[in-house]
Every structure is written in C-alpha cells, then in structure tokens.
Amino acid sequence: MGLIDLRQNTKWLFDATPDITEQIKRLSNHLDNIKVIDGVFLIHAHIGHYTGLMYFGREALGGNNIPVYANAKNESVFRR
C-alpha cells in the first residue's frame, strides 16, 4: 500500500514488503521525480512488513536517508 501526494510530489509506503521493487515501481508510475521514496511507515514488526528495507541501499534501489516510521512498540523490535 502506498500514498501519493500529488500536490507535494511525494510518495510514501506503508510497509516494505519483500517485493519492494514492485511497490516502488507502482508508485513511480504516478510521479515524475527521481526520488526513490519519501518515507516508509511500518505497521508492525511482522517479517513480511519490513524485509523490503534491505533493498533501499546503494547496491539495489539507491535510496539515501529515507525515513522509516514505526510506533514505539515496534521501534524497539527493529533496534534489536
């Protein structure tokens, strides 16, 4: 699931699935900017909701300083 703000020309993901390249591709079809993604909201710490984060690196999608948001309970899980 994603959110596109056409006024601000931004795109946001809700969860980063293992099929992150398809998620990014679908969002990119709606915007002309070259930014990979403006941020990700992680709904919960289930493995299918965060494993796509590993593809944001230079060797894959080339993301840089992409904010990831999680609630306090889940944030502690991701820091382990």
Specify the number of domains making up the chain. Answer: 1
Mean pLDDT along residues 38-64: 79
> Domain containing 47: what range?
2-78
Structure tokens at 22: 């398809």
Residue 21 confidence class, pLDDT cut points 50, 70, 90: confident
| pTM of the predicted model as reported, rounded to 2 decimal places | 0.72
The torsion of the CA quartet 14, 15, 20, 25, rounded to 10 degrees, works out to: 0
**74 exposed, middle or buried (CB, 10 Å; 0-12, 13-18, 19+)?**
middle
Mean pLDDT of 44-49: 74
**26-40 tens-digit pLDDT:** 777 766 655 678 889
